[in-house]
Each structure stands twice: as structure tokens, then as C-alpha cells.
Amino acid sequence: MDSIEQLELFGEINRGGEVAVRFNPGIGVGHHEKVVTAGNKTKFGVQIDYIPQVKTILTEYNLKLIGINQHMGSLFLDYQDYLAGVKCLLDIAQNFKQLKFIDFGGGFGVPYRKEEYRLDLSKLAKGMTKLIDEFLITYENKDVVFKVEPGRYLVAECGLLLGTVYSVKKNYDTKYIGTDLGFNVLSRPVMYDSYNEISLVKDINDGDKKVEEVTIVGNICESGDIIAKNRILPVMNQGDLIAVENAGAYGFSMSSNYNCRLKPAEILIDSNGEDRLIRERDVLKDLVFKFFN
């Protein structure tokens, strides 16, 4: 349950049942304000001050609280931010003595920029172990299960989005590289102003490594359809192939047929280095079928 109101409604329709509650620890992290999901400026979770009300509703409807969880936000790279949230949730857990699980949430980040550092999982693990060991000294249910949700960390760096340059033009002082991509296949830039590294898939001779400032755009009929803005990249020409890096987590999963665009195919490179088609490219028939069935 995400609120006092939801918890009470659940009690009314499932008196005597088991339930879990999401708390807001008051600590939020994330790469953009739209993905910070805790703290005092988000809609998520039950704030700590409402713990007495939670207890009252549990008693009134004979509900058994079996778990609590939190989610602080998406894409943290400083392990200390996560540990602060872990400590807060464990403090909340002390108010409920027979929990079956405590879920610390996710948001584990990967570096999207070359200059960003990598999340130190070793220090994170040591810090969590210390906090959990201290918690279990006084907690009644020693069999409580602790959960984390690594999320994008597992797959983000596994994916590349490939696109073809079909237009090179200059409008006023900006040079635009038009591609057959768009925010229908990668929505993070238009939603969060997020950053993805761009690579030119091409052998460049030592004597031909010129760079220039360009803006990479898609072919959706909206000015916000920008994949990379004001980047210093190798000179690109019509027909070149580009790769958008770290597209494994929120690439295809957030893609759509917006603007009647067709989704691309998905190719998997297996452990033997062999490529396999795992999802076919959309064709017009697929689009029509989705709209009329």
C-alpha cells in the first residue's frame, strides 16, 4: 500500500489479510527530478510521521503487516545515498516486530557519461551488511528476508540502439544530424533530458578524425525529438551508422508506435559471439493489426 487511504481501503475489502506498505524515508535520489521517488516533493509512499496511523488501521481491520519497502529514486551512483535510505527503513522496521521481508528498493545506477564513476558495490555491500547485522541484534524475527532491486544495473550497458544518418543540415547556427531513430524508440532524452553517449560505427583513418558540434535528432514531428544536443562528435555523413549506448534498460521496454512509427528489430549477441534475432522488426501489417484488434 502506498498511502494511509489505500491501506484503509484494503482493510475494508480484505479484513484480516496480509499487507505490505511502502514508506517514504524522506531521502530521495535520482538523475532527474522526475525520477526521484522519495523525499518531501514526491507522491510516493507513506511518510514516517504517519506510522501511528498505520498501526491504528492495522489493528482496526486485523491486518497483518508482513513487509515494508521503499524506492528512493532512479540512477544513484553514490553508495552512501542508498545506505542512508537503508538505515532509515530499518529504523521504520523496528516499529513492526514480525515482518517477513524488508525491501530496500532499487535505483542502482550505471555511468551514462564517460567521466562518471561507477557505483562501488563492494562498499555498498559492506555498509549494508553492517547495518543489517546491527538491526538483527534487537529485531524479533531473525528470519526476516532483505531484498534489493538492482533494476537497470543488470542490463543497461548490454544494449546499443543503432540508427542510420539520413540527413545532414544546418539551420541558423546549429548543425543537425537527422536519423531514422526518434523518441518512440528511446524516450529517456525527451522525458528526462537524459544523456547517452553516441558513437559513430565506422573505421576512421588517422588522417580523417575531424570533429564538430552537432545535435542528433530523430524523425518525429516534434522539436523535442532530440537524442543528443550540442555534442562534439566525428564528422557524419548521410548513410553513416550511429550507436546510442546504454540503451539496454529503458530502450525497447519504453518504446512505442507513437506517430505511427514502426519498432526496430532486436538482435542478441550470445555468449559464443553469435547473433540471433529475438524480436522481428515491425511491418505495416503489425501496426494496422494493433489499431483494429
Residues annotated as part of the active site: 221
Nine cell digits for residue 142: 531473525
Nearest to 77 by CA among 121, 41, 40: 121
Buried b or exposed e, range 260-283, using 16+ CB within 10 angstroms: ebebbeeeeeeeeeeeeeeeeebe
Length of the chain: 293
For residue 36, give Cα distances in angstroms to 30, 75, 235, 247. Answer: 5, 9, 37, 20
CA dist 239 → 168, 179, 203, 226, 266 (Å): 10, 9, 14, 19, 21
Q: Transcribe 117-161 into DSSP letters.
A: PPP-HHHHHHHHHHHHHHHHHH-S-TT-EEEEE-GGGGTGGG--E
- Report how far residue 126's alpha carbon sits from residue 107's, in angstroms, rounded to the nearest whole number: 18
In the numeric block, the cell 522539436 is attached to 223
Report the C-alpha gap between 169 and 176 in whole angstroms.
Answer: 5
Name the one residue in this structure whose C-alpha cell is 543540415. 169
